[in-house]
Amino acid sequence: MRTPIIIGNWKLNNTIAEGLALATEIKNRVAATRHVDVAIAPVFTSIAPIAQRLADSSVSVAGQNCYWESSGAWTGEVSPQLLHDAGARYCIVGHSERRQYYGDTNVDVGRKAFAIIDATLTAIICVGETHAERTNNQTNDIIQKQIDGAFSAISSQQLTHVVVAYEPVWAIGTGNTATPDQAQTTIASIRTILSKRYGSPQADTLRIQYGGSVSPKNALDILSKPDIDGALVGGASLKADSFVEIVKAATLTVAATPMVR
């Protein structure tokens, strides 16, 4: 069975003090949660203090991006090894904002994803189509190319250190959530693409999240879909109330299938 995973992507928000306060509240309020993995992705400067604060808790810390080299003359970059050193256990890679504003290509995402796993972190690999691509029926082609790039160096043994996040670009920060059926259909296609690459037992154990305007209002409907294994949450992760509600929704989907847990 796949354990749902809820990750808060804070993007470029929160000072160290604000991040510590939010992380501490989340830690306290999800302390009793079972069978759902929870992580938050603060800005780089907050990773170490927040990871320290969460050290004895069930909440993990993620980076939002990294470089693929481990060290050297790469001004301004952060390596997965240094994220691990700071206490992160996950790193997001290929987020559409990175692809759109910083030119991260499918090849770059593959290099970064491999480096993240090599540094013993789990890679949260983001894929997703734009509105124009969906309108032109290119969703599957685009995602196939994103997966080909992202997984180019990843072996089937390494898949336990991968989570995929399906984030349709048109749904991010817009309030236009994909319908639960749209999200389920595309995520099922992603699983099919991965099963062609690695075999279905491997693809069946890999977790695939949905991201894009997830809120306490829509979380349960989305997370109840059979192929959707959690959420990558942006705006709603910046308030403890809404983030914790989404974690609770995930626990309800687990409780709905007690026989297999």
Does 190 participate in binding ligand 13P (rule CB under 6 A)? no
Question: What is the residue-wise DSSP string for 74-111?
Answer: -TT---HHHHHHHT--EEEES-HHHHHHH---HHHHHH
* Per-residue binder mask for ligand 13P (CB under 6 A), 48-87, x = binder: ----------------------------------------
The reply to whether 69 belongs to the active site is: no
Exposure letters 217-238 (e unless 16+ CB within 10 A, then b): ebbbebbebebbbbbbbbbbbb
Kindly report the number of other CB atoms within 10 A of residue 148's CB atom.
14
Q: Which of 84, 95, 97, 129 is catalytic?
A: 95
Among residues 235, 246, 249, 251, which is the contact residue for ligand 13P, using CB under 6 A? 235
Identity of the residue, 198 or 219, whose beta carbon is nearer to ligand 13P in the bound complex: 219
Residue 98 CB, nearest approach to ligand 13P (Å): 10
Q: How far is CA 84 from CA 48, 81, 90, in A?
A: 10, 5, 8
Among residues 4, 5, 6, 9, which is the contact residue for ligand 13P, using CB under 6 A? 9
Question: What is the end-to-end Cα distance of the chain in Å, rounded?
Answer: 7
69-77, 83-91, 167-175, 195-203 -> range binding ligand 13P (CB under 6 A): 167-175
- Where does this chain bind ligand 13P (CB under 6 A)? 9, 95, 167, 172-173, 211-214, 232-236
Active-site positions read 95, 167
